[in-house]
Structure 1
């Protein structure tokens, strides 16, 4: 086994999930992540934790959803109890075919997700962390050789997370103190309120309210969104390719959507429930170790020189006590390149222009 697989497991268990002796851990193992699962469970054993493994397969899920009549039972108790009793959930992706569920009807996806809202909430109440093992399917999706893709993944995962956390704290402070964010890209602009919210310094650890490995973003829960923005970073949504998607917001809701490719995939997401038409997240990518688009949201949304907006569910870590924020069965991220002809402003002050933050060399405000 590549020694980096064990290093990946150690970072996941120790830095990201902060597993202690006696913790009850669900390990969700995808079709392509067997080696990482072996290393993770070895690490859990060394630390005296308990585990149960579940098989997380898009192909199995496709077979089930296509065969089902669409009237899904709400939050089956046996599955719900697993996550209610867990201390942590470690999801190890990804499968053999990244488009395995492309032919599952949009209404079936919506019905299944809605029926499992309680299960999803129970899982997210744990110290959950998602990561990926560098599989052949992901390398193919990224347009890279397997060897090059492995180097890319481990460069993003095995890094000095404490140093990155210190840098991202600067952006967190600006968002925490701000009331309004404006994103300008070319001739377009979108504005949103952020007052009363708390930004998350997403440094790949539950200690930072961060649940992805790799990570490297600062995100918050916006509201009252107005304007128009085009997401020019291609991505896959529900196993379907989406390119150059434009969303128009009025009174906080998406009122118009278009895309050069995959428009119906976005419409299916937006039609899931009322909350799917509102923003749940504004994220600013700050991980410059991720230097190329790979069509994997876990990496792409963290990439330096990008921002992303997610329609749907907002994260409780960004909200005041007692406030639920935007509720939805979906949380779908869309990414915009801000490396050129772009600005991010907080309360009218430019904090980033053409991909450079105001504390970085080469920053010029215009």
Structure 2
């Protein structure tokens, strides 16, 4: 599949972010996808706005983590918080070409870096700075996920190039029963049996477009590929068990996670693979890291299988993901350095006793 990066850059700037004259937009990515960063920057400038470019690499992150002391890594760059007063938006492209390079890094030091970034993320949320987070397929990722590179490439770009207006319509259909309901019950043949409340929390449709309605609701971010309906559950309401099929963390596969929640808090978890890593990630985070933070429903028709790449897995049509940790950015109360999406396949979902999904099939 041929991909026109200039066309995609135009779509990101003008359809998704709707960049306006005199705005300051940070654009970041990796060396391997910097051509897309450049094309986005050109489109921003064509609108009379000002792009600020940043690049990162696995080598830099690895050396920084290994060679810098923990107490220095957890220092927040205060100048960045001040600088954000002049920033209107952020566009971030996945800078990792080969996440496996980061597999053996100290989780304690990763937690320190996450702690340092937390005040910056808080500032972004408080100031309602628009953002778009964009994935990027590479041969190294395909090898890590065990998927043919051409299949990965095609699936990713088809998922990114969906009709955003149709996505919005599909998302609104799924959102309606959630907006009108309160009590959520998720089950699956793999052992999920979880109940929680969503109260009157805002139901958000990630349709790839940051609209005026989104700005009014207070949530001004999206992912590309897009395609999910999500909200912040009432934090102390979740009780039961949830089974998550697969997750990747810094190039490490975590498979078959069975999590138990009591009053919204993760109280026990096992995993078929890399259970120790799962617990290590959580223990080295700060704040409400064990609280349920998100209910998300995938609605992208071009994503057909889970591979471990969260930005596509959570968009699978008929999947559900739950997150641990931070959710203040979209109307919740959890304050944490961690936001970790965990995906379950083929779930059933009821809202106030009405079946909305059945074994991964949408019924509305």
Structure-1-length-normalised TM-score = 0.90
Q: CA deviation at 1:156?
A: 0.6
Show the counterpart of 2:7.
7
Closer/same/farther in 2, CA of residues 24 and 11 from structure 1, 3 Å limit: same
Closer/same/farther in 2, CA of residues 278 and 201 from structure 1, 3 Å limit: same
Q: Is contact 1:313-1:331 (8 Å) kept?
A: yes
Closer/same/farther in 2, CA of residues 262 and 3 from structure 1, 3 Å limit: closer
1:140 aligns with 2:143: yes
Q: Which sections of structure 2, spanning at least 5 residues, go unmatched?
A: none
Q: Which sections of structure 1, spanning at least 5 residues, go unmatched?
A: 360-366
Show the counterpart of 1:51.
51
Q: CA deviation at 1:3?
A: 5.3
1:185 aligns with 2:188: yes
CA offsets 1:155-178 (integer angstroms, 9 cap, x no match): 111121111111110121211111
1:215 aligns with 2:226: yes
Show the counterpart of 2:311.
298
Show the counterpart of 1:260.
272
Matched residue SS, 1:95? coil
- Structure-1 separation of matches of 2:4 and 2:141: 18
Q: Is contact 1:25-1:52 (8 Å) kept?
A: yes
Show the counterpart of 1:39.
39
After superposition, the CA RMSD in angstroms is 1.8
- Structure-1 separation of matches of 2:320 and 2:170: 17
Show the counterpart of 1:173.
176
CA offsets 1:234-257 (integer angstroms, 9 cap, x no match): 221233210001110012111101
Question: Residues 194-213 of structure 1 correspond to what in structure 2 (within 5 A)?
Answer: 194-207=198-211, 208=214, 209=219, 210-213=221-224
Closer/same/farther in 2, CA of residues 84 and 67 from structure 1, 3 Å limit: farther
Q: Is contact 2:287-2:337 (8 Å) kept?
A: no
Show the counterpart of 1:90.
91
Deviates more, 1:329-338 or 1:75-84: 75-84
Matched residue SS, 1:116? helix
1:325 aligns with 2:333: yes
How many correspondences in the alignment? 349
Show the counterpart of 2:134.
131
